[in-house]
Chain A
Amino acid sequence: DTAVSQTPKYLVTQMGNDKSIKCEQNLGHDTMYWYKQDSKKFLKIMFSYNNKELIINETVPNRFSPKSPDKAHLNLHINSLELGDSAVYFCASSQGLTPQHFGDGTRLSIL
């Protein structure tokens, strides 16, 4: 039973489109995160939600909008996709100071 699951695993789309990535965790954690791994393999925090409240919002274009309908879900919506958005997006969750558990990533390719 997957602890942190992301859908879709692969996403290929054209520049200018709007797309969403979904994340669900069944660990009962209070905090969820989105990370971006760029072409240089550098993993960087984008957002963090605690109990459906946004607590971290790094310098990310406002085309990216996270939404947390409940504490088990954190979705990422991206408007007007650009070439530079091509990356692997990882969702993670944690409870307090416990290590974060990661999903397997969503590979986004912009044509």
Chain B
Amino acid sequence: DQQVKQNSPSLSVQEGRISILNCDYTNSMFDYFLWYKKYPAEGPTFLISISSIKDKNEDGRFTVFLNKSAKHLSLHIVPSQPGDSAVYFCAASEENSGYALNFGKGTSLLVTP
């Protein structure tokens, strides 16, 4: 059973505009959430994280929002750049499972010039 879901397999955005990637989870015990970016033939690269005690975390062009009551998080990229084109994975973890990551299936983002 998949506990982390990314329902949009792909997203296309124009350069300069905002990219919004969404993620839903089912396990209320998750207390740490992360976004990873992945290029082909490379491993996932950490982008940004948020703990369950916060509802927003910002790092430059990247902002993650967490809505615990809705079990939903989103990643905002603004402004989007062509170099942001990659697959984005949402991940969640909990202390009881040693913080092993539960991944969504990823969203492929294409930023067009």
Residue ranges of A at the interface with B (Cβ–Cβ < 8 Å): 4, 31, 33, 35, 40-45, 48, 50, 55-56, 90, 92, 94, 97, 99-105
Residues of B within 8 A of A40 (CB): 105
Kindly state the separation between the CA atoms of A4 and B49 in the bound complex, as whole angstroms: 20
- Known contacts A90-B44, A101-B46, A103-B43; is-contact A56 B103 (Cβ 8 Å): no
**Which DSSP category, helix, strand, loop or mixed, fits chain A's interface?**
strand
Kindly state the separation between the CA atoms of A14 and B2 in the bound complex, as whole angstroms: 31
Residues of B within 8 A of A94 (CB): 99
How does the 8 Å CB contact mask read for B65-94 relative to A, with 1 for contact and 0 for none? 000000000000000000000010100000
Is A104 touching B49 in the complex (CB atoms < 8 A)? no
- Known contacts A40-B105, A42-B103, A43-B103; is-contact A56 B42 (Cβ 8 Å): no
